[in-house]
Structure 1
Amino acid sequence: MTERLVSHLRYTALAVPEFQTERDFFVNYWGLTEVHAEDGLAYLAAEGSSEPFILRLRQDDKRIDLVGFAVASRADVHALADKLRAEGVQFVHEPQELTGFSGGYGFRVFDGDGRVLEFSTGYETREARKIREREPIPAKLSHVVFNSANLEQSAQWYIDHLDFSISDSLTRPDGASMMHFMRCNTTHHSVAIAMGPHHSLHHLSFEMRGIEEWMRGAGKILRSGARMIWGPGRHNAGDNTFAYFLSPAGNTIEYTTELSVIDEETWEPHRLNIKDVSNQDQWGTAQEMSELIARESFNDIDKGLFVAPPV
């Protein structure tokens, strides 16, 4: 098995036009904690995570600013940078001291579709606390999912350059792939890529303490007035629960829990036909996935591809 240099998913950074509305939703309803703020910039942490923040919001036209991953050491940062440079990956900046909130040392590149990825180490962490029983707030960032107009090409970039592995795939009845769930450690997936009409954010997923907290969280968000677009249910791929909502900016966000941790030595990827409804939702509690539901997460075309964010 390949020794990966990327250890885990750290955070996602989004730009949104209605910055204050989005920030207030994530703090007042979704359950994140603002740990640092600048003019038009908010860093939001999860109480159960030692990551300094798991979501960064910035005032601007809607886009994915970047996705941050952790690397174990400076030596690994340089080893990964050398590997990507030799493979012709386009850099945003070379390894350097990071001057933003929480610091660290790392570099940024564009992935194959033009999204910005950051790889860092040595950043300041925060003291995580145990989420209380029945407390309906996220414990950590679970995973990020992208839409891609070139599914196989997009997924292969992460396999070839970052040594990610496909854990499972969703397929059409004719066998063509619709979605790949990809891992960089023993967690079933930290990134997934879905076939869509264009490149964009599909959804962000936030891990809850357990089933009780997940259900209470879903009810809390429904009472906030946000619309649930799919759920509650339990996926087959990853075996995790799902409840998808739309944020004020129109981004799909998910409460989940109990995402599988796998034995990489013995795991065999599955190809799961989406027409088998139990592959969509094992419980049968969510409405059957349809073209209308899928369209909700196509999102707006990401206009930030191959354009580095200002911070």
Structure 2
Amino acid sequence: MTKRLVAHLRYAALAVPNFEEERDFFTNYWGLTEVHAEEGVSYLAAEGSTEPFILRLRDDEKRIDLVGFAVDGRDDLQALADKLHTEGVQFVHEPQELTGFGGGYGFRVFDGDGRVLEFSTGYQTRTARKIREREPIPAKLSHVVFNSANLNDTAQWYVDHLDFSISDSLIRPDGGEMMHFMRCNPNHHSVAVAMGPHHSLHHLSFEMRGIEEWMRGAGKILRSGARMIWGPGRHNAGDNTFAYFLSPAGNTIEYTTELSVLDEENWEPHRLDISQLSSQDQWGTAQAMSEIIARESFNDIDKGLFVAPPA
């Protein structure tokens, strides 16, 4: 198998109009740690991750600012930049020293729908600690899911330009695709793309230590007053647990655990019919998926497409 140049998912950066409320929710309830703050910007880390931060919040009109990925060294980073230039991908900026919190060396591009992606290496890491038994806080950022009005074109962009692979897909009974789960390493998915009425954030997913911590975390968030929109249950694609909530800004956020790690040499993608209960929830413990539940994660139209964030 040819080596991929994108190593792993690092962080997501969101702009939110209720910045202080959102920061309070993620630090006091969701379980992230603020490690750096500037005027109107907060950098939040997961205690179990060596990433300097896994979520950046910025005070502004609601949008996805960017999603960051790691690359293993400057040689790979330059090779990726050269590849994307050859393929006509639109750059936000060329490889350079990064001046934001955590530093590093990297570049940014627009994906096919206009979302900003950052690729970096050589950034500062933090000392992770082992999440304690029954401690209901995230260990790391698991995956990011986008809504796209051009599902297959969006997924193909990640396959063609970033060498992502489709691990599994959700389909309608007539065979039409509804969602693609995509990987850049043996983890079942770091990015997924869902069919939606417009381009927007579908959800951010945060990995918990295990089932016990995931359940305790879900209970903790329910007691915070946040609304669970789907769960608790266990997906088929990825075999991971799920509990989806709405943040104060109206973004869908998930506690998950036990996402599959694949034997990539022998893995064959599945096409899972969404009309079958086990395709969405193996346990059958969550509400049946419906248009009403799906609509909760359509989110607001992303107004940041093909517009570079100011930070």
Which TM-score applies when normalising by structure 2? 1.00
Over the aligned positions, Cα root-mean-square deviation in angstroms equals: 0.3
Secondary structure of 2:7's counterpart equals strand
- Name the CA distance, whole Å, in 2 between partners of 1:288 and 1:175: 20
Matched-pair contact (CA < 8 Å) for 1:155–1:180: yes
- Name the CA distance, whole Å, in 1 between partners of 2:251 and 2:282: 25
Instruction: State the partner residue of 2:246.
Output: 246
Name the amino acid aligned to 2:237.
A
| Partner deviation per Cα, 1:115-153 (whole Å, 9 max, x = no partner) | 000000000000000000000000000000000000000
Instruction: State the partner residue of 1:256.
Output: 256
Matched-pair contact (CA < 8 Å) for 1:2–1:163: no
Instruction: State the partner residue of 2:223.
Output: 223
Secondary structure of 2:265's counterpart equals coil
- Name the CA distance, whole Å, in 2 between partners of 1:76 and 1:279: 37
- Name the CA distance, whole Å, in 1 between partners of 2:303 and 2:250: 15
Name the amino acid aligned to 2:240.
N
Instruction: State the partner residue of 1:161.
Output: 161
Secondary structure of 1:155's counterpart equals helix
Matched-pair contact (CA < 8 Å) for 1:147–1:202: yes
User: How far did residue 2 of structure 1 move?
Assistant: 2.5
Name the amino acid aligned to 2:49.
S
Aligned 1:124-135 pairs, distance under 5 A: 124-135=124-135
Aligned 1:1-311 pairs, distance under 5 A: 1-311=1-311
- Name the CA distance, whole Å, in 2 between partners of 1:37 and 1:66: 18
Secondary structure of 2:52's counterpart equals coil
- Percentage identity across aligned positions? 86
Name the amino acid aligned to 1:79.
A
Name the amino acid aligned to 2:153.
Q
| Partner deviation per Cα, 1:186-234 (whole Å, 9 max, x = no partner) | 0000000000000000000000000000000000000000000000000
Matched-pair contact (CA < 8 Å) for 1:239–1:260: yes
Number of residue equivalences: 311
Matched-pair contact (CA < 8 Å) for 1:95–1:105: yes
| Partner deviation per Cα, 1:83-141 (whole Å, 9 max, x = no partner) | 00000000000000000001000000000000000000000000000000000000000
- Name the CA distance, whole Å, in 2 between partners of 1:211 and 1:3: 33
Name the amino acid aligned to 2:290.
S
Secondary structure of 1:204's counterpart equals strand
Name the amino acid aligned to 2:113.
D
- Name the CA distance, whole Å, in 1 between partners of 2:130 and 2:3: 31
Secondary structure of 1:112's counterpart equals coil
Secondary structure of 1:78's counterpart equals helix
Matched-pair contact (CA < 8 Å) for 1:8–1:69: yes
Matched-pair contact (CA < 8 Å) for 1:16–1:62: yes
Name the amino acid aligned to 1:262.
L
| Partner deviation per Cα, 1:278-297 (whole Å, 9 max, x = no partner) | 11100010000000000000
Which TM-score applies when normalising by structure 1? 1.00
Secondary structure of 1:136's counterpart equals coil
Secondary structure of 1:198's counterpart equals coil
Structure 2, unaligned runs of 5 or more: none
- Name the CA distance, whole Å, in 2 between partners of 1:164 and 1:177: 18
- Name the CA distance, whole Å, in 2 between partners of 1:26 and 1:253: 10
Matched-pair contact (CA < 8 Å) for 1:240–1:260: yes
Secondary structure of 1:6's counterpart equals coil
User: How far did residue 158 of structure 1 move?
Assistant: 0.1
Matched-pair contact (CA < 8 Å) for 1:186–1:263: yes
User: How far did residue 3 of structure 1 move?
Assistant: 1.3
